Amino acid sequence: MRTRTPDGRYFVVRGRLWRLSNPGLDPKTRDALVQELMAARRAVRSARDDPEAMAGARARVDAAKRNLGERGPVWWTDGSPDYNRRLVKNTPYAAWFDSLSPSGGHEQ
């Protein structure tokens, strides 16, 4: 199970924050975007020997992630900065993460 930050903005993998999808998306839109993201990821895997196809597939992945709110402008409106892809220990979430386990939460 992924560890989510208390505010629901990120999940943590190997001590790094990754932005979650916008929870405000309606379920049909979200499902369609997730399906597009998965199709785009399959296209990346299939395009390994074709640089032009790879570039197009990666652009599709990026567009889907932006539409989901995982990249690009943040989906929250309180003015808080984005810590996407940052190490938890270098963010305001550090104390929270350290409190998760006796080993400092770093096993998650």
The pLDDT score that the predictor gives to residue 76 is 97
Q: If you average pLDDT over every residue of the chain, what do you get?
A: 93
Report which of 85, 64, 54, 79 is spatially closest to residue 22, judged by C-alpha positions: 64
Confidence band of 101 (pLDDT split at 50, 70, 90): confident
What pLDDT digit, counting tens, does each position of 59-98 carry?
999 999 999 999 999 999 999 999 999 999 999 999 999 9
Q: Burial, 19: exposed, middle or buried (Cβ in 10 Å; 0-12, 13-18, 19+)?
A: buried
Q: How far is CA 79 from CA 2, 54, 73, 74, 75, in A?
A: 25, 35, 11, 9, 10
